[in-house]
Amino acid sequence: MLEVLTEQLLLFCISIVANGLSAMAGGGAGLLQFPALLFLGLAFSTALATHKVASVALGVGATMRHLREKRLDLRFALFILFFGLPGVILGAMLILFVPDDLAKATLGLLTISLGLYSWRSPTLGMAQVIKQHRMRDWVIGGVVLFLIGVLNGSITSGTGLFVTVWLVVWFGLDYQRAVAYTLILVGLVWNGVGAITLAAQTVVKWEWVIPLVIGALAGGYLGAHLSIAKGSALVKRCFEVVTILVGISLLI
């Protein structure tokens, strides 16, 4: 009995830290949570499905806080979902049949480059930039969101960070607003669809989901609160640190 309680407490602590950082940075909960599930003895596919199911709670916790600010554009949110969700479903269907070592190494290098790029661009994402997009720009933006969706469905760590930086670089959002879109749409909807797709194909460690979900709800809310209270400067710095750590984690 004591061993079970210790295990549940450990899962809760891992979840609240991982999801709190993720809610501040706009992604990266899998940096701690997914490797921890592997370390505790789950098979890759089971750990992936369990992490995906639990990570939906991050979106719920962050959504509860961000919706109070009423800063999101419904049409833009639907645009992100329209292009991203088909990619998520495709990625979740493919990952269980495709070796992921090369994909993780490539994603790791790209993720590190995101953090370094943001660090080398001091003004990036510090304020919203109004951009006049033509139809071609919207199509390019949507195609990239689709490709990120494929990664989100197939690779567990760091893909929310790609959405965050893409919203900043291509669409001109500041980091604080971009993180809000990422946590609500990626954390809640994309991850929810990915979790359902994976759970239909492989085993989920349901007895571990409860402490992970409680930790994700608390961490998601607290991280979102801090990102709103402290502004884009803190969010940007957290984004840079988490992207580099996620990238290193994927490489090793």
Q: Are 228 and 176 in contact (CB under 8 A)?
A: yes
pLDDT of amino acid 74: 85
pLDDT of amino acid 225: 80
pLDDT of amino acid 157: 60
More confident residue, 171 or 101: 171
Using CA atoms, how far apart are residues 21 and 157, in angstroms rounded to an integer? 13
What average pLDDT does the segment 159-176 reach? 85
Residues 6+ apart with CB under 8 A from 55: 19, 29, 30, 33, 187, 191, 195, 216
Domain spans in the chain, listed from the N-terminal domain onward: 2-251
- pLDDT of residue 107 exceeding 90, the answer is no
What average pLDDT does the segment 34-56 reach? 81
CA dihedral 156, 161, 167, 168 (to 10 degrees): -170
What average pLDDT does the segment 203-209 reach? 89
Listed residue (121, 141, 127) closest to 176, CA to CA: 127
What average pLDDT does the segment 212-240 reach? 79
- The pair of structure tokens assigned to 215 is 């930790």
Residues 6+ apart with CB under 8 A from 162: 27, 110, 111, 114, 148, 151
Give the confidence band of 139 by pLDDT, cuts at 50, 70, 90: very high
What average pLDDT does the segment 239-245 reach? 78
- pLDDT of residue 127 exceeding 70, the answer is no
Tokens 């990619």 identify what position? Answer: 87
Show the 3-state SS of 25-87.
HCCCHHHCHHHHHHHCCCCHHHHHHHHHHHHHHHHHHHHHHHHHHCCCCHHHHHHHHHHHHHH
pLDDT of amino acid 42: 84
- pLDDT of residue 75 exceeding 80, the answer is yes
More confident residue, 231 or 217: 217
Listed residue (48, 54, 82, 50) closest to 205, CA to CA: 50
Using CA atoms, how far apart are residues 190 and 125, in angstroms rounded to an integer? 23
- pLDDT of residue 119 exceeding 90, the answer is no
What average pLDDT does the segment 135-142 reach? 92
User: 132: buried, middle or exposed (CB in 10 Å: 19+, 13-18, 0-12)?
Assistant: exposed
Q: What is the mean pLDDT of the chain?
A: 80
Model pTM? Answer: 0.75
pLDDT of amino acid 22: 75
pLDDT of amino acid 102: 67
pLDDT of amino acid 98: 61
Give the confidence band of 125 by pLDDT, cuts at 50, 70, 90: low
pLDDT in tens, 58-67: 777 777 766 6
